[in-house]
Structure 1
Amino acid sequence: MPDRQGLPVLPVGAGWWLAVGGAILLAFFFRLGAWPLFDLDEGAFAQATQEMIASGNYLATWLDGQPRYDKPIFSYWMQALSVHLFGPQEFAFRLPSAIAASIWVVAVFAFARGRIGTSGAAAAALLIALATGSMVIGRAATADAWLNLWLALTFLEIARWQEAPRRSVLLRAYLWMALGFLTKGPVAVVVPLLASLAFFASEGRWREWLRAAFELRGWAVFLAVALPWYLLILAQEGPDFFYGFFVEHNLQRFLETREGHGGSLFYYLLVLPFVLSPFAGWMIATLGRWRQRPRGLERLAWIWFGVVFVLFSLSSTQLPHYILYGITPLLLVLAMHRDRLRSPWLAFLPAFLMFALMLALPWVLALAAGHVDRAYELELAERALTILDSRYLLSILAFTLAAFAVIWVRQLRIWQRLIAIAVLQALALTTTLIPALAAIQQVPVRDAAEIARNLEPNVVAYSINMPSFSVYRGMATERRMPVPGEVVVTRSHVVADIAAAYPDCELDILYHQGGIVLLQVLREGEYCDGE
């Protein structure tokens, strides 16, 4: 319908769809390939995908010539498809995650419209899209966006089931769990089973849960989807895969601290505000709802989040993105009670803490540089202080001032102003902070790899674990001490160790930036040997 001036006016629902679509484009696709792959995870997934394509073996994953049993196959298949379509570039490696995150947001919006209204559904979708944790995994060339999609879809099916049990809903839940099992393993089954058990038990609906949990047709769907690849990979790789994946990377990861990722019972209390940024105040305002003993969908949402929070707080290995397995129901509850956010201080102060941290980053790094003594960390800090210059500060300051101006737009409700501030934070992250971090850590690795790509001598990696070097070099890189005549990529403080191993050899530095060194061990006559 036209307005009084004759201009077309979109229906309210269409306006919210446009807002959600714009948030998806900003959060997951804007400048998706604008910076190098981050190590360790993005580099490892991308290189394993490249080695899969090079070998033609689409069952198993290898990283720099060694078996990689960390994750199942689904996300590698999606990356391989994207690389086949667009070539081996950052955009192609990250595109599957962006697609998964987009489906995640749209699915929540579609589910919530009939339950909390169009504006509430849009609030939930915008919260998911613009929360910092969601943005990070939705842009990362890893398996996490896919796993969160399958967990979110499973949660939505369980929510539908508790409203009106239907076999089609239940079978879809088993399908999503199967795809999650193909993406990241047992966590895709453990979280839904524990959360649904706790919910139905809390409402005295044991029989419904037992009927759903032991639905033979559901398990038939699960096995039909998930089992074939596991049987094939076990047949190809043998017991090494079973131990490497199920025991080492799942059971032991829960029982023991792996790869230095330890924490404490309070770890996720500290992490959650950053993962939810800039919506931590909104969460605090909503926490009081739990004391009112909600029922139905809201109770299920709280319990699902609580199970994830407790389960991974008890885990010996803790990473920030684990808490995202419970973020869909949590943000749905926040959207349900968006008008409980009445305190401007509570809403906006946590949001501006993130801007303050971005502004303080150069000084924080300068302070940290005074407490490190290894050459690599010192050179990395020096590079950071060069890149985080006045242009960086002016850019972040401009976004901060724009966010401050949003506070005074009284025509918008507090939660709507906070969404607008989240848009500005997303722009600050994608145009300024993330590119700066990539320039500090990853550009030297990429530049060294591009030099190594054109070298005739064999290239190895020593005392460094940055798989993106292999991605940009275009081939696997063996990890070991170099022998005379070879080129090695390493960190600057390790050069002395290589020199000590070959006292009669000359080390020719081919590249040295940001603590990353590419050098060749040159022979001097026929007597250049290790000690």
Structure 2
Amino acid sequence: MDRRAWVLAWSFVALMFVGFWSYGLFDLDEGIYAAATAEMLRDDEWVMITLRGQPFLEKPILVYWAAMAMLKLGIPGEAALRLPSVLATIGTLAMVAGFARRRFSEEVGIWSMLILTSSALFMMLGRMFTPDALLIFFMTAAYLSFWESLEGDWRWRLATAATLGLATLAKGPMPVFVFLALVVYVAWRIPEMRPRMRKGWVIGTMILFGIAATWYVPAMLRSDAFFSEFIVKQNLGRLQGTDTVHVWPMWSYLPVVLIGLAPFSFMLVGAWRTCRATDLEKYLWA
């Protein structure tokens, strides 16, 4: 494949983002996050997320920092609020395409990007003012850099730690536990990688906690209810179904993902049967 194929692929990506600034806030979360952002910007508040003058600790700070930075740059309205998600989604596409190109082929790189761009759920999140696109970007960076650390230089693991730290600023501590599950999976399914997993954990943990502490520590010092509200209710409580706003049973996420990533999600069964031979393929299935 030549440069023209990449130009066409990226043109398709660009086309999918046309008009992200042209419609009003339509989702409940978008409206709530926008109101909190406006309040913080009015008060020049960069630590404590507030809504109607009260601490609002549903999600961490990163999505607000990103939106406030765009507004400070003079970008107007919905464009400023959604631009971080757009940029994060483009970054995710670039990472996935680049990784697939290096590890497989030019053709696989282009198709991986086109498949993601054609997935309604992925692109919908990329055009909304929510933390999800930022989370996807940093988790993708963490997973891909971790593989690089296993196959090459262990210092890639420091990038894994940094991006996990940013993921906790985007969505909470859950990404760390998901990553630890991935580590256990790798040790179990790809045992030859175990000797390559030994370095970098102490300094990586320090990097992760150092990045997360830029908001978690001052927010905890500012609000006595931080632990009970953010950690217990908004993170642990959601696993127990205590969220009364987003009333979704756990099983409902499966059809949402299958439909949101259609038609390619329905090809997973065939891929599962044929694409588990190499260590990289086993890793990517995780």
Q: TM-score scaled to structure 2, two decimals?
A: 0.93
Is the Cα–Cα contact under 8 Å of residues 131 and 171 in structure 2 kept in the other structure?
yes
Task: Give 1:301 deviation, angstroms.
Answer: 1.3
> Paired residue for 2:167, among 180, 193, 200?
180
1:49-88 superposed matches below 5 A = 49-88=37-76
Task: Give 1:210 deviation, angstroms.
Answer: 5.6
More helix by share: 2
Please give the per-residue CA displacement for 1:450-476, whole angstroms capped at 9, x wherever unaligned: xxxxxxxxxxxxxxxxxxxxxxxxxxx
Distance 1:278 1:35 in 2: 27
Task: Give 1:138 deviation, angstroms.
Answer: 0.3
Please give the per-residue CA displacement for 1:134-184, whole angstroms capped at 9, x wherever unaligned: 1111000011000000110111112212322x2321110001101101111
Distance 2:167 2:39 in 1: 23
The answer to which structure, 1 or 2, has the higher relative contact order (CA under 8 A, 6+ apart) is: 2
> Paired residue for 1:230, among 216, 231, 236?
216
Q: Which runs of 5+ in 1 are unaligned?
A: 1-11, 305-531
Taking structure 1 as reference, are residues 187 and 23 closer, same or farther at Cα in structure 2, changes over 3 Å only?
farther
Distance 2:76 2:233 in 1: 30
Please give the per-residue CA displacement for 1:44-87, whole angstroms capped at 9, x wherever unaligned: 11111111100111101112332210111111111001112235
Task: Give 1:294 deviation, angstroms.
Answer: 2.6
Distance 2:269 2:261 in 1: 11
What amino acid is the match of 2:168? F
What amino acid is the match of 2:155? S
What amino acid is the match of 2:12? A
Residue 6 (structure 2) pairs with residue 14 (structure 1): no
> Paired residue for 2:205, among 211, 219, 222?
219
Taking structure 1 as reference, are residues 162 and 168 closer, same or farther at Cα in structure 2, changes over 3 Å only?
closer
Is the Cα–Cα contact under 8 Å of residues 59 and 73 in structure 1 kept in the other structure?
yes
What amino acid is the match of 2:113? A
1:65-464 superposed matches below 5 A = 65-164=53-152, 166-205=153-192, 207-208=194-195, 211-212=198-199, 215-238=201-224, 240-259=225-244, 260-265=246-251, 267-289=252-274, 293-302=276-285, 304=286
Taking structure 1 as reference, are residues 19 and 196 closer, same or farther at Cα in structure 2, changes over 3 Å only?
farther
Distance 2:68 2:47 in 1: 12
% identical equivalent positions: 28
Distance 2:185 2:194 in 1: 13
Q: Which runs of 5+ in 2 are unaligned?
A: none
What amino acid is the match of 2:165? A
Distance 1:67 1:288 in 2: 49
Distance 2:237 2:269 in 1: 34
Task: Give 1:264 deviation, angstroms.
Answer: 4.6
Q: Which residue of 1 aligns with 2:12?
A: 23
Task: Give 1:16 deviation, angstroms.
Answer: 2.9
Distance 1:262 1:110 in 2: 35
Is the Cα–Cα contact under 8 Å of residues 200 and 208 in structure 1 kept in the other structure?
no
Supply the RMSD in Å over aligned alpha carbons: 1.9
Distance 1:208 1:174 in 2: 19
Is the Cα–Cα contact under 8 Å of residues 150 and 188 in structure 1 kept in the other structure?
no
More strand by share: 1
Distance 1:262 1:33 in 2: 29
Is the Cα–Cα contact under 8 Å of residues 97 and 109 in structure 2 kept in the other structure?
yes
Distance 1:270 1:278 in 2: 13
